[in-house]
Amino acid sequence: MNIYKKLPNIITFSRLVLTLFIIIFGLLKHYNIVLVFCILASLTDFLDGFFARKFKASSNFGAKLDAVVDKVFVISLLITLIHFNKAFLVLLILEVIIAISNLYYYFTLFKTKSLLVGKIKTWSLFLTIIIAYINIFFKISLLNNILNGFLLMTGNLQFLSLLAYFEFFIKNINKKEIDNTTSLKLEKTIYVDNLDDLLNSGEEVI
């Protein structure tokens, strides 16, 4: 395969490496360094999509890899903020549960769907993280109240996302079972019809 075709996935993997440094320096409370790595990670998020379009290297694997790495990136940022505010531990746990649930749903149904509440939750989560980092660097007292409001809102949105994706899973797993049952009945009907045709034809059945 042409190296240019591999470039978007290589860039995506580099973002995964950067998240390790974000976690390490975040836990050491070196937030200036964390900010640098966050900027680099955000840049790779732009570049992998740019080169995928430029070299026509978009793929289902690349899209799934990008989504997984983005989730790891967000989780790494939440880990770095636990020392700053213990409420981020709750958001971290909920986000990990959402990630594991979505993986399970995908490998069970072999399809995913981006729900509106999930998109709103993601934007709220990013805004909460941004507000927290602004507060770390500039220590604006008013931001504490704003941050607490976003923490509460984001936690509720995460919980609603869990319920919405669970409802989507139950609805589709039931539909999948009905489709499988219908398909089995159809196969049996075709088999019986073919057998009746064969018997009526007068040919010998072995």
Task: Say how many C-beta atoms besides its own lie within 10 A of residue 187's C-beta.
Answer: 10
Tokens at residue 195, please? 């057998």
**How many angstroms separate the first and last alpha carbons of the chain?**
52
From residue 199, alpha-carbon distances to 191, 205, 206 in Å are 12, 7, 11
Q: Whose structure tokens read 């704003």?
A: 146
**Tens digits of pLDDT across the chain (206 residues):** 577 788 999 999 999 999 999 999 999 999 999 999 999 998 998 898 888 888 888 888 888 888 889 999 999 999 999 988 999 999 999 999 999 998 898 888 877 777 899 989 999 999 999 999 999 998 888 899 999 999 999 999 999 999 999 999 898 888 766 655 655 555 555 555 554 554 555 544 34
Are the C-beta atoms of 132 and 147 separated by less than 8 Å?
Answer: yes
Residue 120 neighbours by CB under 8 Å, 6+ apart: 157
Integer Cα distance of 169 and 188 in angstroms: 28
Main-chain dihedrals φ then ψ at residue 29, nearest 5 degrees? 65, 25
- Show Cβ contacts of residue 69 under 8 Å, excluding neighbours closer than 6 positions: 12, 13, 15, 16, 19
pLDDT value, residue 194: 55
* Nearest residue to 59 via CA among 167, 154, 130, 67: 67
pLDDT computed for residue 182 by the predictor: 59
User: Which amino acid belongs to residue 77?
Assistant: L
Question: Beta strands of 59-201 (E only): which ranges?
Answer: none
Q: What is the pLDDT of residue 187?
A: 56
Residue 9 burial (CB count, 10 A)? 19
Model confidence, pTM: 0.80
pLDDT of amino acid 111: 72
Give the pLDDT score at 204. Answer: 47
What angle (nearest 5°) sits at the alpha carbon of residue 64, between those of residues 14 and 95? 85
Q: Whole-angstrom Cα distance, residue 146 to residue 206?
A: 80
How far apart CA 162 and CA 7 sit, in angstroms, is 34
In the chain, the domains with their CATH numbers are 3-180 (1.20.120)
